[in-house]
Chain A
């Protein structure tokens, strides 16, 4: 059986503040298989980015990963490497993985590039840290990387500073940096949100073609369902720190199971309809005073007594109802779909 590349189980990340503590990531489970394009979608504050940062163990004070496991199975071409739980690695071991086998690109490329170093300096840093190369080799590698991300005139670009580049170019540089260690998993946190649509199309196309060339897995975090529909094969929907639905991209859009996903789909404008947008009443619950039971209950048209009393688990759905508990699989197993709701689908 092929093991997934990344297996996140019951991840809890809490922020402990003077107002009390709250769970930004609340029992998150999913898998990412090799070479899979996975989308993580949700509104701001739903825990998408914190989930990504937890995978890289970059959550900073006052945030803390308090529970769960993140199993990472290195790619098969280096079979001797055992499966590791990222949460149990030492700082040093984690540092060796981070930015090398698991890389991340961020939303705002200006703030994630250092303004006082040239582009060349910054790409070189990663190569210096993770790979043994001579100076000339590093230079060749950098030029090759920049050409792969579609930057014309790469040798010249190495000497330039981030402020001299446009947003699209900066994001390409970020992607080139992430590719330094030919990563198994690239986490892209809203990589195109700060860019214009025509540039966004270029960057998404680039990410897709790089994924095809290298066979890496891609975890694409976005709030834009359009970007999701065009880029990924599997989708994880998050709400208020929880995963509420996991499905293949096709199924998610044709037949969403969780009431939140259904409502979300109806609230985006399309080219066709000109009538009113459907809205989701109310607001996302505040994370430090979560209700008992389902977190979506106050905004859900289908909420019943049960939803207010007991928290639903993420369950596999088959033909619109829960799969029998004897056949239970872990969330994210291939060809399955999961929803955290007592009354999924039309029922």
Chain B
């Protein structure tokens, strides 16, 4: 049974304007998203900024209430639960946030920040608490002496480690990592990635790993989902992503700088920028930037189809894209 199943999740944000601040439209941040994460599995979620990755993460973990759809965690639908009812689930689902500057309380010492989930969920007797926090600090590459220091004394990378220590303090079953390494340097990012993989092996933690860096996601994940303008356009085993099926994933792959000056690569530079999620284009949401777009793409919204076992893509011209691949 999968640990987390999401069915037809929607999250729109109203846009208000005018004298009475009435809603004048909606940002379609998450639009009909379904996915599943098995225990101990890493699902990578990639997409450009503003495509709804973070909103999806926050909606799954119920920091935001979805407009409709189901979020099944170990078979229980947590979407309609009250905060009190959610509490036991919160201990099993933790999040690592994107911005290490905004996600740590500047008035709390690092030790207190990491201990807070332990205190709230009463996991460990008080007398062992400090010891546990020190263990966690060492696990993420900080030193126990950092216990009583404050976030402002740390670099961005070190702060992210504190955030990771806080997330793993309860040994959760699912960690949603929202761009956990994008603020870190390469040599430090590699340490953190290895650390996350160790945790996964040791505790069978499942990850929803969100990043804009397809290379990092590919390295980290068993399966990958690609998001564009609030929708999942492709999902499949990460090994298949050298030859993606959706034109957007293809462009994303081609845009990644490869650290090897010898590779002469096929450049597929997308023109333009993602349209506003407030009024997404009709038909396929990618059609204004798509080099393969035809009339049908402007009219008809393509749905996710299983093209190969376990590999789904939403495009009218998958066969055409396939032919272009080497």
Residues of A within 8 A of B (CB): 43-45, 166-169, 196-202, 204-205, 223-231, 249-250, 253-254, 263-265, 267-271, 273-274, 276-280, 283
* Contact stretch, chosen from B27-35, B94-102, B118-126, B255-263: B255-263
Does A269 contact B212, Cβ atoms closer than 8 Å? no
Does B187 contact A269, Cβ atoms closer than 8 Å? no
B11 to chain A, nearest CB (A): 21
User: Is the CB of B155 closer than 8 A to any CB of chain A?
Assistant: yes
Nearest-CB residue, chain B, relative to A275: B219
Within B236-286, the residues touching A (CB, 8 Å) are 239, 242, 251-252, 254-262, 267, 269-271, 273
Most buried by A among B187, B193, B194, B218: B187
Assuming the contacts A197-B252, A229-B259, asked whether A279 and B185 have C-beta atoms less than 8 A apart, the reply is no
Most buried by A among B242, B261, B270: B261
Assuming the contacts A44-B155, A202-B269, A277-B193, asked whether A253 and B187 have C-beta atoms less than 8 A apart, the reply is no
Q: How far is the CA of A205 from the CA of B157 in the complex (A)?
A: 30
B140 to chain A, nearest CB (A): 12
User: Is the CB of B144 closer than 8 A to any CB of chain A?
Assistant: no
Does A43 contact B256, Cβ atoms closer than 8 Å? no
Q: How far is the CA of A225 from the CA of B258 in the complex (A)?
A: 8
**Set of chain A residues within 8 Å of B48, measured between Cβ atoms:** 196-199
User: CB < 8 Å: which of B212, B216, B219, B258 contacts A229?
Assistant: B258
Q: How far is the CA of A49 from the CA of B31 in the complex (A)?
A: 41
Q: How far is the CA of A276 from the CA of B220 in the complex (A)?
A: 9
**Set of chain B residues within 8 Å of A224, measured between Cβ atoms:** 257
Does A44 contact B218, Cβ atoms closer than 8 Å? no
Does A269 contact B257, Cβ atoms closer than 8 Å? no
**Set of chain B residues within 8 Å of A168, measured between Cβ atoms:** 273
User: Is the CB of B49 closer than 8 A to any CB of chain A?
Assistant: yes
Does B186 contact A276, Cβ atoms closer than 8 Å? no
Does A198 contact B187, Cβ atoms closer than 8 Å? no
In the complex, besides A229-B260, A283-B141, 15 extra interface pairs with C-beta distance below 8 angstroms are A45-B155, A197-B256, A199-B273, A202-B269, A205-B267, A223-B186, A226-B215, A226-B258, A230-B261, A270-B215, A271-B215, A274-B219, A277-B190, A278-B190, A280-B191
Assuming the contacts A44-B157, A44-B185, asked whether A230 and B257 have C-beta atoms less than 8 A apart, the reply is yes
User: CB < 8 Å: which of A200, A250, A267, A279 contacts B261?
Assistant: A250
Does A227 contact B187, Cβ atoms closer than 8 Å? no
Does B218 contact A271, Cβ atoms closer than 8 Å? yes
User: Is the CB of B156 closer than 8 A to any CB of chain A?
Assistant: yes
Does B212 contact A225, Cβ atoms closer than 8 Å? no
**Set of chain A residues within 8 Å of B256, measured between Cβ atoms:** 197, 226
User: Is the CB of B214 closer than 8 A to any CB of chain A?
Assistant: yes
